[in-house]
Amino acid sequence: MYSLLAQLKQEDVFKSISDNVGGTTDPKVFYVVALIGTGLVLLLVVINNLKKRQASPRAVNHQGKLLKEILKSLPLKKGEIKHLKTMAVEQRCASPLTLILCPSVLARGINAKGKADKRVVMGVARKMGILNKK
């Protein structure tokens, strides 16, 4: 056995080590493994984002949707709604719903000077039953 080791030259040992350690490997295998790993990471990120998006609550109070739902039940025309919006801005209200729900603010808006047509707003008040019909 010692005679076999003695016959090995230093060059043969280095050649064997370089073949085993730094030998020619196919880089395609590395690229395929890296691509699969990247795909898995992206898949996990997408799944995590979907879970977060489904878990977050939706906004319940939306003024536009609320206004639309209330105006469906009221027999108001688009022009009347525009005048109510104008009056709401003049009265510094958050929404025309304030004028519809609070007759005192609507009355103050009718009596105040502004761009909104008072006749149209008074017609809205009559439709809602706030003012008596003449």
Q: Answer yes or no: do 32 and 67 share one domain.
A: no
Burial of 26 (0-12, 13-18, 19+ CB in 10 A): exposed
Domain that holds residue 107: 63-128
**Higher-pLDDT residue of 35, 95:** 35
Q: Answer yes or no: do 103 and 87 share one domain.
A: yes
What pTM was computed for the model? 0.47
pLDDT tens profile 34-86: 999 999 999 999 999 888 776 556 667 877 788 888 878 878 888 888 888 88
Domain count, the chain: 2
Q: Does any domain span residue 3?
A: no
Give the length of the chain.
134
Q: Answer yes or no: do 76 and 99 share one domain.
A: yes
Q: Answer yes or no: do 88 and 44 share one domain.
A: no
Q: Is it the case that residue 3 has pLDDT exceeding 60?
A: no
Q: Answer yes or no: do 74 and 118 share one domain.
A: yes
